[in-house]
Amino acid sequence: MVWDALLQNESAIEPGASVLQHLVHAVEGPLPDKVEVIAGIWADGEAFGQPTWVKTILANRAMRALEYDRASTFLKQGLEQNWNRDQFIQALNDKPNSGSIHVIRSTLMGNPELAKKPELLRREVQMMLDSFTQKLDRLRDATPRAGEPDEK
């Protein structure tokens, strides 16, 4: 299982700290008696473990950062052009329904009141934009230090 605190909307883990994580297991099957962490990236950017798994973590972060960046660009465009709810939804038609775009689409589709209240729409869109921007900034700030991870 690849688990990344930053992508789970948690703070990065400081060196020496611990975290509790629920484990997935088969129903009526035994819980694992141990978990081995084979790679990771600490809050200070130091990476450790098998390079393949560190690269997987970094690739997942890069993919998510790209999603946040695209979603932010989309929301900014809508705010700058003063789109109404229907225009936002129309502009989403050619976008895949995954990740950040799913959040935008479900927020807009799930709140019909946004069509009647432009000030509420702008507030909702601005909150989503702020959220994506903060997440993107956290990912950018968590760039690992140069060099290969330590094999531990």
This model's pTM is above 0.75: yes
* Token output for 54: 């560190």
User: To which H or E segment does residue 47 belong?
Assistant: strand 47-49
Which residues have C-beta within 8 Å of that of residue 48, sequence separation ≥ 6?
39, 40, 41, 42, 54, 149, 150, 152
Contact of 125 with 23, CB cutoff 8 Å: no
Tens-digit pLDDT string for the chain (152 aa): 677 877 776 677 777 777 777 777 678 888 777 778 888 888 777 888 899 999 999 999 999 999 999 999 999 999 999 999 999 999 999 999 889 999 999 999 999 999 999 999 999 999 999 999 999 998 888 766 544 454 54
Dist. CA 70–CA 100, nearest whole Å: 9
10 Å Cβ neighbour count for 2? 11
Contact of 9 with 135, CB cutoff 8 Å: yes
